[in-house]
Amino acid sequence: LLEILETHYPEFEEEVVSKEKVFKQLFPKEKLDKQKLRYVMTDLTRLLEDYLVEQELADDEVAKRHFLLRALNKRKLRKYAEQHKRKAFKELEKNPLRDEKYQQDLLILEEDAYLLSSAQDTRALDSDLQQLSSHINASFLSKKLRYTCEIINRMNVLGAKYDLPFLPKILEYLKKTPHDEVPSIAVYYKILLTLQEPENEKHYQELKQLLPKWLEQFSTQEMRDMWGFAQNYCI
Amino acid at 46: R
Residue 149: which of 167, 173, 137 has the closest Cα?
Answer: 167
pTM (2 d.p.): 0.80
Judge whether residue 11 has pLDDT over 70. Answer: yes
Whether 209 contacts 185, CB under 8 Å: no
Model pLDDT for residues 122-134, shown as the tens digit of each residue:
666 677 788 889 9
- Residue 177 is classified by DSSP as S
Positive or negative, the Cα torsion across 65, 135, 144, 92?
negative
In the chain, % helix, strand, coil (3-state, to 5) comes to: 80, 0, 20
Q: Tell the burial category of 232 from Cβ atoms under 10 Å away from its Cβ (0-12, 13-18, 19+).
A: middle
Judge whether residue 39 has pLDDT over 90. Answer: yes
Model pLDDT for residues 151-160, shown as the tens digit of each residue:
999 998 888 8
- Residue 75 is classified by DSSP as T
Terminal CA-to-CA distance of the chain, rounded, Å? 56
